[in-house]
């Protein structure tokens, strides 16, 4: 017993050390560079700045390029909130129907849901469709793109979790006079909170950090997203590494905070659907 505890203690210490090296060391390096002067940051050394210029670099970064980073953060926030809201609503309803209704079309629908995770996106046909709908290069079109490619993940999680909800709850609600919408909204949806949190956090981080889709489907400077702004910012400020690392820090903080506060809910939502489903 003592040997097993000692082994678990050693494994835990090693895991903490690996986490420090893999995550905290690069993050602290970014913070140090963001607080240095341009001359000190150009050396890219892991050292304490002689004078802290964190607030000064923050103001300069936010004001650089006609405040393009601020505009990009606003666009990414709108894109993330809208896309994740649609993903949760649509995937929750679809997952509930797929888990409750058994029909001959079920395997076909399941095939397309899995295909959404496996088949790579077709860029040119998607652009052609968006142009036909007059949504190419617009934030509304980008919201539809992010929603579409996030539905498969959400549907799989919701379907697995709904399978663990007793059908007796549905029958009792129907006997009490609840219709389909009331049954789903007031009886089933509150029970799906762990999966809702999981889908919200995972998809929020994915959409906010997405670089490829906005690059393909959202050209132009007006609707630039955070990752595209960082890419442009890195090309325009190669001689000011302190501003570049400050921009990286600003864009990294929102997904990092979401993961830190909702880490337990993410793991709980995924494991609940996997184990019980």
Q: Could you say which of 1.10.10.60, 1.10.730.10, 1.10.3720.10, 3.40.47.10 is the CATH number of the domain covering 64-276? A: 1.10.3720.10
pLDDT at 267 (0 to 100): 59
Round the CA-based radius of gyration of the chain to a whole number and report it. 23
Give the domain ranges of the chain.
Answer: 64-276
135-146 exposure pattern, b = at least 16 Cβ within 10 A, e = fewer = bbbbbebbbbbb
* Interatomic CA distance for residues 126 and 217, integer angstroms: 8
Structure tokens at 114: 């899995």
Q: Which residue has 């678990």 as its token pair?
A: 8
Blockwise average pLDDT, block size 10, the chain, 277 residues: 71 76 81 86 83 86 82 91 94 88 79 82 88 90 93 90 82 80 84 87 89 87 84 70 86 79 62 48
SS3 assignment, position 271: helix
pLDDT at 13 (0 to 100): 81
Whether the CB-CB separation of 175 and 103 falls below 8 Å is answered with no
pLDDT at 144 (0 to 100): 93
CA nearest neighbour of 158 among 12, 269, 39: 269
Whether the CB-CB separation of 141 and 130 falls below 8 Å is answered with yes
pLDDT at 201 (0 to 100): 86
Number of residues that this document lists for the chain: 277
pLDDT at 76 (0 to 100): 92
């Amino acid at each position: 017993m003592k040997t097993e505890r000692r082994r678990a203690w050693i494994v835990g210490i090693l895991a903490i050390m690996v986490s420090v090296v893999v995550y905290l060391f690069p993050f602290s390096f970014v913070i140090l560079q963001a607080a240095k002067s341009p001359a000190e940051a150009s050396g890219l050394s892991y050292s304490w700045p002689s004078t802290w210029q964190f607030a000064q670099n923050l103001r300069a970064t936010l004001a650089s390029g006609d405040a393009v980073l601020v505009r990009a953060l606003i666009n990414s926030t709108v894109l993330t909130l809208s896309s994740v809201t649609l993903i949760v609503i649509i995937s929750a309803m679809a997952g509930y129907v797929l888990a409750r209704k058994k029909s001959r079309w079920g395997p076909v629908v399941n095939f397309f849901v899995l295909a959404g995770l496996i088949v790579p996106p077709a860029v040119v046909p998607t652009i052609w469709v968006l142009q036909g709908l007059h949504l190419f290069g617009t934030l509304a079109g980008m919201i539809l793109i992010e929603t579409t490619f996030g539905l498969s993940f959400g549907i799989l999680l919701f379907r697995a979790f709904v399978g663990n909800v007793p059908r007796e709850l549905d029958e009792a609600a129907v006997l009490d006079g609840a219709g389909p919408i009331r049954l789903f909204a007031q009886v089933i949806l509150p029970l799906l909170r762990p999966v809702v949190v999981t889908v919200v956090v995972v998809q929020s981080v994915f959409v906010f950090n997405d670089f490829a889709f906005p690059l393909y489907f959202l050209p132009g400077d007006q609707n630039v997203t955070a990752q595209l702004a960082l890419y442009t910012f890195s090309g325009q400020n190669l001689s000011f590494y302190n501003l570049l690392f400050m921009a990286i820090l600003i864009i990294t903080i929102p997904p990092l905070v979401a993961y830190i506060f909702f880490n337990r809910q993410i793991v709980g939502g995924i494991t609940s659907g996997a184990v019980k489903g």
